[in-house]
């Protein structure tokens, strides 16, 4: 039974970006089922080779960047993987779209992947997994100590709802407007072992939890602990899984910058304290308050405000973004806040030009190089 180990945490500051995308036809409509991109007779071009796999549905694929040593080169890697994926799809007469949920996808009409891992999940989880057409963005940041990674993951939790609000890009699901900014988060959280994790005292506490879940049959492997943030005991990273999928690579790079800066800042704080106190506000931030903040992000997106770290005051998204950008010395989140949000853009295009136009707008090759 492989549940990872503390020895995996041996490098600080490296990056990896995983993106989930939709395989669509030339008009941007979901394919009923295509596994050609993963199992076809053509090898994917570099740097995609060996870094593409199916998700639960055949029309959802996940790509991975190579290990990124220099945080300044994130965009180069993200764009090159996307270009290779689009080229690979084009060779089969297909295209690639990005969003948290595809607005034209109807899960009952789409084929599930036949991979044994996913067949087992469908049998075990049933209805919630059968309808799980979600696509997200995952950012990994390398951490050089297992206890430090666990402490950082604890400390990241307050930042996740504002990050979700900033990324919200899934107002439509199963063909209708949900009234939410990120319906993906709600659909995904009907699965077990998702959402906001609890705090873990140290890495050994997390490792015991991970092992127990596998030993008791709650999950088949550690990869099925789908929390919004986790110390990844295989890669030796802190993995943030909060943002919705995106069509624009600049949005992805802004989130990679944000996550990297937050993790790096927390790592420095951990090193500065001989006996570090909880980074997430301690007992003032109960899990229920963090869940409330996430609900606000799901429902209102950019218009959300949040219970602050002290548990008493309320802060809006713009204040959170300005506060973090000033403190961390970054600009990406602030640039995103000045742009039209993904959920608002989707609603506007559908209202002004219809669903076909919206589907075309989500095509990744329509969003820069």
DSSP 352-363: HH-HHHHHHHTB
Are 156 and 238 in contact, with CB atoms under 8 Å apart?
Answer: yes
pLDDT at 281: 53
Q: What is the DSSP string of 268-307?
A: HHHHH-SSPPPTT-GGGS-HHHHHHHHHHHHHHGGG-EEE
Provide the sign of the torsion angle of the four alpha carbons 152, 157, 162, 163, taken in this order: positive
Rounded CA-CA distance 159/156 in Å is 6
Domain spans, the chain: 6-366
Dump strand ranges (E) for 214-351: 226-227, 229-232, 237-240, 305-307, 314-316
Of 228, 231, 87, 84, the closest CA to residue 158 belongs to: 228
pLDDT at 369: 57
Rounded CA-CA distance 172/156 in Å is 28
- Bridge partners for 266 per DSSP: none
Which pLDDT tens digits describe the chain residue by residue (369 residues)?
556 789 999 999 999 999 999 999 999 999 987 888 998 888 999 999 999 998 999 999 999 999 999 999 999 999 999 999 999 999 999 999 999 999 999 999 999 988 899 999 999 999 999 999 999 999 999 999 999 999 999 999 999 999 999 999 999 999 999 999 999 999 999 999 999 999 999 999 999 999 999 999 999 999 999 999 999 999 999 999 999 999 999 999 999 999 999 999 999 999 887 556 665 555 457 899 999 999 999 999 999 999 999 888 999 999 999 999 999 999 999 999 999 999 999 999 999 999 999 999 999 998 865
Rounded CA-CA distance 156/226 in Å is 16
Phi then psi dihedrals of residue 255, to 5 deg: -70, -35
Q: What is the CATH number of domain 6-366?
A: 3.30.590.20
Rounded CA-CA distance 224/240 in Å is 14
Of 57, 54, 233, 264, the closest CA to residue 150 belongs to: 233
pLDDT at 11: 96
Rounded CA-CA distance 227/61 in Å is 20
pLDDT at 32: 83
Helix (H) or strand (E) holding 21: strand 15-24
Are 345 and 358 in contact, with CB atoms under 8 Å apart?
Answer: no
What is the number of residues in the chain?
A: 369
Distance between terminal CA atoms of the chain? 42
Are 166 and 185 in contact, with CB atoms under 8 Å apart?
Answer: no
- Bridge partners for 68 per DSSP: 15
Helix residue spans in 91-126 (DSSP H): 116-125
Rounded CA Rg of the chain: 19
Of 37, 94, 103, 65, the closest CA to residue 244 belongs to: 103
pLDDT at 9: 97
């Amino acid at each position: 039974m492989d549940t990872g180990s503390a020895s995996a945490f041996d490098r600080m500051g490296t990056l990896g970006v995983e993106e989930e995308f939709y395989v669509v036809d030339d008009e941007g409509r979901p394919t009923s089922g295509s596994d050609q991109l993963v199992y076809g007779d053509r090898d994917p071009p570099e740097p995609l080779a060996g870094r593409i796999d199916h998700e639960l549905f055949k029309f959802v694929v996940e790509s991975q960047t190579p290990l990124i040593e220099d945080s300044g080169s994130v965009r180069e890697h993200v764009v090159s993987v996307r270009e290779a994926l689009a080229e690979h799809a084009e060779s089969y007469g297909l295209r690639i779209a990005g969003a948290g949920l595809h607005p034209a996808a109807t899960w009952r009409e789409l084929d599930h992947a036949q991979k044994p891992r996913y067949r087992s999940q469908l049998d075990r989880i049933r209805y919630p997994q059968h309808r799980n057409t979600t696509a997200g963005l995952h950012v990994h940041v390398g951490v050089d100590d297992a206890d430090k990674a666990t402490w950082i993951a604890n400390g990241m939790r307050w930042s996740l709802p504002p990050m979700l609000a900033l990324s919200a890009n899934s107002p439509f699901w199963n063909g209708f407007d949900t009234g939410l900014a990120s319906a993906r988060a709600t659909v995904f959280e009907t699965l077990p072992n998702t959402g906001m994790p609890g705090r873990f005292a140290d890495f050994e506490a997390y490792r015991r939890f991970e092992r127990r879940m596998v030993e008791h049959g709650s999950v088949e492997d550690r990869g099925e602990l789908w929390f919004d943030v986790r110390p990844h005991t295989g890669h030796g990273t802190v993995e943030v899984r909060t943002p919705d999928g995106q069509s624009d690579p600049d949005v992805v790079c802004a989130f990679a910058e944000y996550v990297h800066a937050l993790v790096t800042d927390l790592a420095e704080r951990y090193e500065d304290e001989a006996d570090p106190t909880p980074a997430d506000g301690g007992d003032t931030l109960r899990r229920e308050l963090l869940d409330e903040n996430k609900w606000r992000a799901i429902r209102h997106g950019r218009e959300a405000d949040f219970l602050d770290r002290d548990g008493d005051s309320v802060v809006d998204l713009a204040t959170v973004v300005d506060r973090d950008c000033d403190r961390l010395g970054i600009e990406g989140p602030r640039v995103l806040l000045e742009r039209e949000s993904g959920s608002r853009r989707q609603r506007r295009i559908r209202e002004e030009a219809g669903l076909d136009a919206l589907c075309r707008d989500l095509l990744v090759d329509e969003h820069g190089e």
